[in-house]
Amino acid sequence: MVLNVAIIGSGFAGLGAAIRLRQAGIDDLAIFERASDLGGTWRDNSYPGCRCDVASNLYSFSFAANPRWSNTFSYQPEIWRYLQDVASKYDLRPLIKFNHDVTDITFDTSANLWTITTSQGLYVARCVILATGGLAEPRLPEIAGIDTFEGPIMHTARWQTSLDLVGKRVAVIGTGASAIQTVPQIASIVGHLDVFQRTPSWVLPHQGHPVLERTKRLFAALPLAQKLNRAYGYWKRELLLLGFVKDPARMTRAETIAREHLERQVNDAELRAKLTPSYRLGCKRVLLSNDYYPALVRENVDLITQSIECVEPRGVRTSDGRLHECDVIIAATGFFVTDNPMGEKVHSTSGAPLSDAWRGNMAHYKGTMFPGFPNLFMLSGPNTSLGHSSIIFMLESQLNYVLSAIQRALSSNSLLEPTSEAAQRWTSSLQEKLPGTVWGTGCSSWYLNESGRNTTIWPDFTFKFRAQTRRFEPRDHVSTR
């Protein structure tokens, strides 16, 4: 059977795509999911303390509000449950082919169809939506000798609940968003904790708090009240963009707040100095926490800032020659983002891998379509991530475009792809803008690819992206039958 649309991934993006397609009357869909359950990054990141740093009223589908969020900034179990509830409400489970790992997506020019190779066989589809996400492939650190470590090594995105950390000597490598959430949770149960920091993060006070029962009742009874709350949160975040994009010097005020936060929570001047970043706030992801610094000042916790020389069977050796013995290593070392292996599995009509778009060797159109990839769409594609607001808003914007394109492609039985000129115009305008933003102020981050080019971030107001993805623009595409 030829599918109308093959959706790869069952996280926020994949589920959102299936809902919108079905609402538009498009059937013969399948969602391919490599795991045995849905939820994407919110299924995989089950480490203790995992929480979203965007308020839940905004970090959820506009068409599926949840009046029962228990916290203004929800923890992972509740977000994952939300996705399960959405899948049930829209009856999506029958569409999902679980345990189907997609290994190749190639366009068959003789049949004008996409061939999707999975661990459980071949499928063909008229259109493909890649909803595989940017934070899907955990990156283990490349450290000499890491394979020789005698104990377990666990990435935060592959947390093993069966691994008992109580009383153990634990090393956490990395101090990004995942580390600062999990360190406070495990610090009180482990015997000793060494936190290996390569670059300090800017940490702002967390504003999250439990939602009052009466607020939940209000949101349930009066959906407009929740919509207004969402709109308020949205516009407050849009204003932040002035600092991120228009004038990074505006970040000075937030830097002062972060420094005061650090001073309030850490008395030791030497430790404070180690924790003070030397780059502009916002250049790397801004972190929110009220319990990370207090965890670091605990008796049983050490912040190690000497660089890691190697890993040995009994622990981590730093450049000062010291061996930090440990029983378990936790890698909070992030993800393959600009070098996501998925990009190598998808090929254009001429055989070029989609990963070229992240490398900066291939222009993209609205982060969603690519010349040479007819009827193929990517959600959370190049330059659609954000440093200041909710990625769900961007996803829903992309879905407007994707839906309008797929309706046209299916109804006219045609193949649509952006012209090289339109894609080049789009990509060049972003690349002209990005160096002047906070992400171009000279730090290393997962927003930048190997050559330092930012192929990740959308450098403008999100409402501008919404306006530009409102509907399919025929003049920017070639259509063939």
Would you tell me which residues interact with ligand N01 (CB under 6 A)? 51-53, 135, 141, 143, 156, 173-179, 181, 196, 198-199, 285, 308, 332-335, 444, 446
Q: How many other β-carbons are positioned within 10 Å of the β-carbon of residue 274?
A: 15
User: Are 419 and 477 within 8 A, CB to CB?
Assistant: yes
Q: Which is nearer to ligand N01, 178 or 340 (CB)?
A: 178
Cβ 367 to ligand N01 shortest distance, Å: 16
Q: Which is nearer to ligand N01, 140 or 352 (CB)?
A: 140
Tokens representing 262 are: 């650090």
Tokens representing 154 are: 């666990």
The separation between CA 474 and the C-alpha centre of its own chain, rounded to angstroms, equals 30
Tokens representing 83 are: 């996705």
Q: What are phi and psi of 418, to 5 degrees?
A: -70, 150
Q: Report which of 387, 386, 368 is spatially closest to residue 468, judged by C-alpha positions.
A: 368
Q: Which is nearer to ligand N01, 37 or 53 (CB)?
A: 53
Edge-first strand order for the sheet with 169-173 is 153-155, 328-331, 169-173, 192-196, 301-304
User: Are 308 and 149 within 8 A, CB to CB?
Assistant: no
Q: How many residues does the chain have?
A: 481
Which positions ≥6 away from 335 have C-beta within 8 Å?
A: 134, 135, 136, 137, 138, 139, 157, 446
Cβ 437 to ligand N01 shortest distance, Å: 16
Tokens representing 449 are: 């690819």
Please give the single-letter amino acid code of residue 439.
Answer: W
Cβ 320 to ligand N01 shortest distance, Å: 15
Cβ 203 to ligand N01 shortest distance, Å: 11
Q: How far is CA 111 from CA 114, 331, 366, 410, 415, in A?
A: 8, 45, 27, 15, 12
Cβ 62 to ligand N01 shortest distance, Å: 19
Q: Which is nearer to ligand N01, 114 or 335 (CB)?
A: 335
Its sign, for the CA torsion 346, 349, 355, 358, is negative
Integer Cα distance of 296 and 267 in angstroms: 11
Cβ 53 to ligand N01 shortest distance, Å: 4
Q: Which is nearer to ligand N01, 196 or 393 (CB)?
A: 196
Q: Which is nearer to ligand N01, 329 or 362 (CB)?
A: 329
Cβ 410 to ligand N01 shortest distance, Å: 34
Q: Which is nearer to ligand N01, 199 or 404 (CB)?
A: 199
Q: Which of helix, strand or coil describes residue 154?
A: strand
Q: Which is nearer to ligand N01, 200 or 360 (CB)?
A: 200
Cβ 335 to ligand N01 shortest distance, Å: 6
Its sign, for the CA torsion 29, 34, 35, 38, is negative
Q: What are phi and psi of 397, to 5 degrees?
A: -65, -50
Rg (CA), the chain: 23
User: Are 388 and 413 within 8 A, CB to CB?
Assistant: no
Cβ 21 to ligand N01 shortest distance, Å: 27
Q: Which is nearer to ligand N01, 58 or 128 (CB)?
A: 58
Cα of first residue to Cα of last residue in the chain, in angstroms, is 20
Q: Which is nearer to ligand N01, 156 or 375 (CB)?
A: 156
Q: DSSP secondary structure string, 366-428?
A: TTTB-TT-TTEEETT-TT-B-SSS-HHHHHHHHHHHHHHHHHHHHHTT-EEEE-HHHHHHHHH
Q: Which is nearer to ligand N01, 143 or 186 (CB)?
A: 143
Q: Which is nearer to ligand N01, 19 or 177 (CB)?
A: 177
Please give the single-letter amino acid code of residue 157.
Answer: A
User: Are 64 and 89 within 8 A, CB to CB?
Assistant: yes
